[in-house]
Amino acid sequence: MSRTLSFLFFLSIVQMSFGQNDKQVSIFHRLLIYNSEDELMVLKIENTDYWVTPGLYQTEEQSILQGLDSIASTYGISLESVSLRGVFVLKRDINSQRSTSLRHVYVAQVREINLTKPKGIEEITWLTPKMAMKKITFPHIVKMIEQIEAYPEHVRGGTLLQFRENDAWQTKILEEFYSF
């Protein structure tokens, strides 16, 4: 119980400290969905060359679990064994616009699948985690997945900076990764 309270206290401090520098700190939930062959679901965003894993920004209208279920059902998937595996701070500096978001990363297994492609998604594929990390466009997502894959029994944390340099997405580690 003490570990949980420490974790919640840490999250509150992070949100308050970054909230002073940015107008608003957003919360984003990324969902790593694995099938029965331990392949990871990867998506190509329509009309782009961007490959990602599913995710959504937290809204006032729904709880975290409702949001995660909403993501899964959008793709025709029902989940089991959903667990929080990462709590990362992502700072962004893109076109002189700065923002901060708290990134929660959840891992889940597919219980049932009747795959559908929602609006805005051009392609869905299942890849080994290693191949998925090669396919994913954004280095900060790859860094998070690497941590989760390397420490499967831990909730991982750290702070990353996302920026563009020479027309390519880049990530810098601002705070070394750690386990809660």
Q: Which of 6-10, 40-44, 76-80 has the lowest mean pLDDT?
A: 6-10
Q: Show the tokens assigned to 114.
A: 């009747």
Give me the domains of the chain, ranges plus CATH numbers: 2-179 (3.90.79.10)
Question: CB neighbours of 12 closer than 8 A, spacing ≥ 6?
Answer: none
Would you say 175 and 159 are in contact if contact means Cβ atoms under 8 Å apart?
yes
Q: Furthest-apart CA pair in the chain: how many Å?
A: 47
Predicted model pTM: 0.85
Average pLDDT of the residues in 146-170: 95
Q: Show the tokens assigned to 79.
A: 């989940």
What band does 12 get if pLDDT is binned at 50, 70 and 90?
very low
Percent of the chain with pLDDT over 70: 87
Backbone phi and psi for residue 76, each to the nearest 5 degrees, phi listed first:
75, 30
Average pLDDT of the residues in 140-167: 96
3-class SS shares of the chain: helix, strand, coil, % to 5 = 25, 45, 25
Average pLDDT of the residues in 51-60: 91
Task: Look at residue 154 and tell me whether its pLDDT is greater than 80.
Answer: yes
pLDDT tens-digit readout, 72-115? 999 999 999 999 999 999 999 888 889 999 999 999 999 999 99
Task: Look at residue 57 and tell me whether its pLDDT is greater than 60.
Answer: yes
- For residue 7, give the amino acid letter: F
Please give the pLDDT value at position 1: 44
Please give the pLDDT value at position 3: 55
